[in-house]
Structure 1
Amino acid sequence: MNEKKAVNSRQNVILENREKLSISGVEHVDNFNETSITLATVKGAMIIKGNELNISKLNLEDGNVTIEGIVNSITYTNKDLSKSKGSGLLGKMFK
């Protein structure tokens, strides 16, 4: 494994007061609404559930996402979202 690949497979999840969630290692946003956000990350699919959720910052080039709202849960799943990459947020916007 080369050094660049090792760096790109790292992920940080920082939750501040259950109101601000910063995530690195995000590959794409699969689905989102006020109560649920589904992300494909370097560590697997991630589902964030809560209330009044809003993606306040999104930089897929760097793999960083900031979510604001009340976070009730963060769950990793084994579901592979990479197959639906074209149907993510940007894919839906540019159809």
Structure 2
Amino acid sequence: MSELMTPIPFRELMTWVTAEYQKEGTVFGVHKPYKAGVKTLPIFGEKIETPFGPAAGPNTQLAQNIIASYFAGARFFELKTVQKMDGADLAAC
């Protein structure tokens, strides 16, 4: 993974998703979409289908990984802010 994360235009991202799904039947490598049942769990005063999802980290911040996670059934996303200083630079402060 590169140190630089560059945004993907929404149209390009959706074209990527639909083209892969039509050709391969997958969405970013996920073969089977999650199908919701009738059971839900309470969380923060709301209801959620599945109480799991990706943890915050640079790789999970990528749009394609968020889409793949949702397609696979994740419904709880922990996102973090992008920092200009990280790693050794942050430790030196």
TM range (shorter): under 0.3
Give the alignment's TM-score, normalised by structure 2: 0.24
Higher relative helix content: 2
Higher relative strand content: 1
